[in-house]
Amino acid sequence: MTDTGQAREAREAQEAKEAREARELFGARFGGAPDGVWQAPGRANLMGEHTDYNDGYVLPFALGQGVAVAAARSADGRLALCSRQRPADGAEIALDGLAPGQVTGWAAYPAGVAWALRSGGYRVPGARIAVGSDVPEGAGLSSSAALECAVALALTDLAGLDVPRPELAGLARRAENDFVGVPSGIMDQSASLLCQPGHALLLDCRSLEASQIPFDPAQGGSRLLLINTRARHELTAGEYGRRRAECARAARLLGVPSLRYLTDDGETARLSDPVLRRRARHVVTDNARVLSVVALLRSAPGDAYPKIGALLTQAHMSLRDDFEVSWPEADVAVDAALHAGALGGRMIGGGFGGSVLALVPGGARDAVRAAVSGAFAGRSWTEPGFLEAAPSASARRL
């Protein structure tokens, strides 16, 4: 069987297992069978970091790993929640009168989705929801967006509502921003709801125009290796909000609605504050790198990978030196991967913890893993985790 065939079989088996486990959890906690099981994937981002909230471009792809929810409608107007990952932490929430601040912990994500849908005019019913996930948490792979999107799809399906996916992504983001209180952009929810297998999603975060870009590194003989550095990533920690504020200030000082409106990094020279200048330079150059990767994938998909690899490494340097959101384990993982033959690599997501994405020639995969593990062991760091990623499908009913 081909690599792709094997990967597909493995994915289908994993999906069946997730659905079965979610149903079992539902039965054990609530009794009976759910009305259905919905799955939404986590994401990795090929290029365009901290560009989404600057109205710029991002190029994420969906992972095979995701959050599965087994759900059934209930008539009592309440959301009953349980999670395989947090068996001690169930919740029951009345939907009428629900407001931000009333729910904390993981339950705030599903509750926030119900709240955002209702605030958006969608009368979603009460429901019993059992949640299971195989997205590593705190790894910067958007386990929270996956949870939001799985719940959003389940609740709207249960209500018989057909909400256009871009709108659903916006409502899931609203749950995260206004209910949970994390000031994230639109990338993660869009990736989870809009990506297609074998493609990356080019999203223009100003117009919200989405294009599917064929992206299949395996065909070019390369692999996408995600390295979980085990340094936990927490968006609520403040630095993310600080970067957003710095970008907004830089745009104001330059007299543009957002940094997206700058196309030449020379324009950032007008900023006298060196920190704001670096922040703006990252955003301008990363937007340009997204468009370069898209052009490479469109014109020469097979030969594109060495060039894309070089762009990934440039992006890492920009995130490390200009945007200052990298962390020691990510820098060491990127260096070790490059020395062992990776075509390129960079931190992904918000930063300060989480994962590195390395683009690796098929033949160098084991050497790269060994080099990164060795570099971590040499520093007495926790053993990193490895995940081979394949651009996968968006959220769906299983």
Provide, rounded to whole angstroms, the least separation between the CB of residue 50 and ligand GLA.
5
Nearer to ligand GLA, 127 or 139 (CB): 139
Site size toward ligand GLA, by CB under 6 A? 10
Q: What does DSSP say about strands 78-83 and 126-133: parallel, antiparallel, or unpaired?
A: parallel
Q: Which residues face 43 on adjacent strands?
A: 62
> Residue 139 is encoded by which pair of tokens?
């790894």
- What track of x and - describes contact with ligand GLA for positions 4 through 43 (by CB under 6 A)? ----------------------------------------
Do residues 117 and 152 touch, judged by C-beta distance below 8 A? yes
Question: What span, in angstroms and rounded, lies between the C-alpha atoms of 368 and 274?
Answer: 36
**Residue 192 sits in the site that holds ligand GLA (CB under 6 A):** no
Provide, rounded to whole angstroms, the least separation between the CB of residue 60 and ligand GLA.
9
Provide, rounded to whole angstroms, the least separation between the CB of residue 270 and ligand GLA.
25
Considering only 143, 184, 229, 268, the residue that binds ligand GLA (CB under 6 A) is: 184
Q: Which amino acid is residue 184, in one-letter code?
A: S
Provide, rounded to whole angstroms, the least separation between the CB of residue 240 and ligand GLA.
7
Q: Which amino acid is residue 383, in one-letter code?
A: E
Provide, rounded to whole angstroms, the least separation between the CB of residue 45 and ligand GLA.
6
Considering only 38, 53, 61, 352, the residue that binds ligand GLA (CB under 6 A) is: 53
Which listed range, 4-12, 28-36, 183-191, 389-397, lies at the site for ligand GLA (CB under 6 A)?
Answer: 183-191
Nearer to ligand GLA, 6 or 236 (CB): 236
Provide, rounded to whole angstroms, the least separation between the CB of residue 42 and ligand GLA.
11
Sign of the dihedral through C-alpha 304, 394, 150, 97: positive
- Catalytic residue numbers read 188
Do residues 208 and 189 touch, judged by C-beta distance below 8 A? no
Which listed range, 45-53, 78-86, 301-309, 372-380, lies at the site for ligand GLA (CB under 6 A)?
Answer: 45-53
Question: What span, in angstroms and rounded, lies between the C-alpha atoms of 295 and 393?
Answer: 23
Question: What span, in angstroms and rounded, lies between the C-alpha atoms of 59 and 61?
Answer: 7
Which listed range, 81-89, 103-111, 117-125, 182-190, lies at the site for ligand GLA (CB under 6 A)?
Answer: 182-190
For residue 98, count other CB atoms closer than 10 A to its CB. Answer: 17
Q: Which residues face 68 on adjacent strands?
A: 39, 132
Provide, rounded to whole angstroms, the least separation between the CB of residue 107 and ligand GLA.
19
Which listed range, 124-132, 180-188, 217-225, 267-275, lies at the site for ligand GLA (CB under 6 A)?
Answer: 180-188
Question: What span, in angstroms and rounded, lies between the C-alpha atoms of 80 and 103?
Answer: 13
- What track of x and - describes contact with ligand GLA for positions 363 through 392 (by CB under 6 A)? ------------------------------
For the chain, first and last CA: distance in Å?
A: 25
Provide, rounded to whole angstroms, the least separation between the CB of residue 59 and ligand GLA.
11
**Residue 349 sits in the site that holds ligand GLA (CB under 6 A):** yes
Nearer to ligand GLA, 39 or 184 (CB): 184
Nearer to ligand GLA, 79 or 347 (CB): 347
Tell me which DSSP letter residue 98 carries. -
Considering only 110, 217, 350, 361, the residue that binds ligand GLA (CB under 6 A) is: 350
Nearer to ligand GLA, 144 or 268 (CB): 144
**Residue 136 sits in the site that holds ligand GLA (CB under 6 A):** no
CB within 8 Å of 51: residues ≥ 6 apart: 57, 58, 205, 260, 283, 286, 287, 290
Q: Using alpha carbons, select from 360, 389, 352, 347 the residue that is nearest to residue 371.
A: 360
Which listed range, 76-84, 127-135, 149-157, 185-193, lies at the site for ligand GLA (CB under 6 A)?
Answer: 185-193
Q: Using alpha carbons, select from 82, 75, 92, 78 the residue that is nearest to residue 28.
A: 82
**Residue 55 sits in the site that holds ligand GLA (CB under 6 A):** no
Q: Which amino acid is residue 11, in one-letter code?
A: R
Burial letters for 157-185: b for 16+ Cβ neighbours within 10 Å, e otherwise? Answer: bbbeeebebbebbbbbbbbbbebbebbbb
Question: What span, in angstroms and rounded, lies between the C-alpha atoms of 223 and 366?
Answer: 11
Residue ranges in contact with ligand GLA by CB under 6 A: 49-50, 52-53, 184-185, 187-188, 349-350
